[in-house]
Amino acid sequence: MKHLIDIQNVTVMAKPSRRNNAHSCLLNTVSCHVDAGEVLVIIGPNGAGKSTLLNAIAGDNQFSGCIEINGLENEPKLRARQIAVLPQLSLLNFPYRVAEVVGLARIPHNTGRRRDNEIVQEALALMDIGFLSDRLYTELSGGEKQRVQLARVLAQIWQKEDAPNGTRVLLLDEPTAALDLGHQRLLMQAIRKLASHGVAVVMVLHDVNLAARYADKALALLCSERLAFGRIDEVINKENLKSLFEVEVEIIQHPLHKSPVVIGL
């Protein structure tokens, strides 16, 4: 059976600078896979190659090896109906209204203004920012801007019937970074809901407890290489976390969800 996203021996080299002609390795022969309906979280210390891999999946980095997304179209407009990407930093300095920012996600689609407006409002409500619909984006706080950007990428792949071959992929780079505790939970629940409708989700997270609670699989990267890949309980353990972050931890089982809970010592 083919995986929706199959990553085999992916290597990414940094471009040489004027001072140094040598190529340095940003990612070294990393392999993993994600199926439709699964959430894969990438964990690891700063500089481990997490964003590099995410950008390679999105098609923004040159790499050797193979990244195959089953059913993905090559034509840019069709591809934009299948993959939505949230980078670490989303720069937008034009005074668009919030609903207009989210509405940008519907440009590749042919669903009509009425349905597009409905999807925009549904995405805003999911991120708990419907009340900001008419506010200027430039006037928002950092956390509010992040929730607007999240609503935008969700709106881009909102309907399975809009995606050629039914293929939908969501790529998120540190999506919870500017969010408070309540909105972190809201986002992760929204991601699980999308996954339950067949979306393959790959995200970079620093919070290993959020990863353990909501993800199906984890990929641990260290020094640009794969340290571990597999089910959450296989990857998030004391040995791996000590190797990744040089900290001693204790791991217990969540009393309700049965997922691993990491406690720093």
Name the nearest CA neighbour of 199 among 163, 150, 235, 148. 163
Percentage of residues in the chain having pLDDT higher than 90 = 85
In the predicted model, what is the mean pLDDT of residues 86-99? 88
Element (H, E) at 40: strand 39-43
**Residue 55 confidence (pLDDT):** 95
* pLDDT tens readout for residues 209-235: 999 999 999 999 999 999 999 999 999
Residue 16 pLDDT greater than 90, yes or no: no
Residue 249 pLDDT greater than 90, yes or no: yes
* pLDDT tens readout for residues 99-112: 999 999 999 999 99
* pLDDT tens readout for residues 169-201: 999 999 998 899 999 999 999 999 999 999 999
Distance CA 220, CA 112 (A): 42
The mean of the pLDDT values for the chain is 93
* Domain annotation for the chain: domains and CATH numbers: 1-70+168-175+198-265 (3.40.50.300), 77-166 (3.40.50.300)
Token pair 């993800």 is found at 215
Residue 205 pLDDT greater than 90, yes or no: yes
pLDDT band for position 94 (cuts 50, 70, 90): confident
* pLDDT tens readout for residues 51-61: 999 999 999 88
Cross-strand bridge partners of residue 69: 5
pTM of the model: 0.94
In the predicted model, what is the mean pLDDT of residues 14-26? 73
**CA R_g for the chain:** 19
Distance CA 104, CA 198 (A): 23
In the predicted model, what is the mean pLDDT of residues 78-90? 92
Count of alpha carbons within 13 Å of 27, Cβ hemisphere only?
A: 26
Name the nearest CA neighbour of 170 among 196, 145, 144, 141. 196
Count of alpha carbons within 13 Å of 211, Cβ hemisphere only?
A: 28
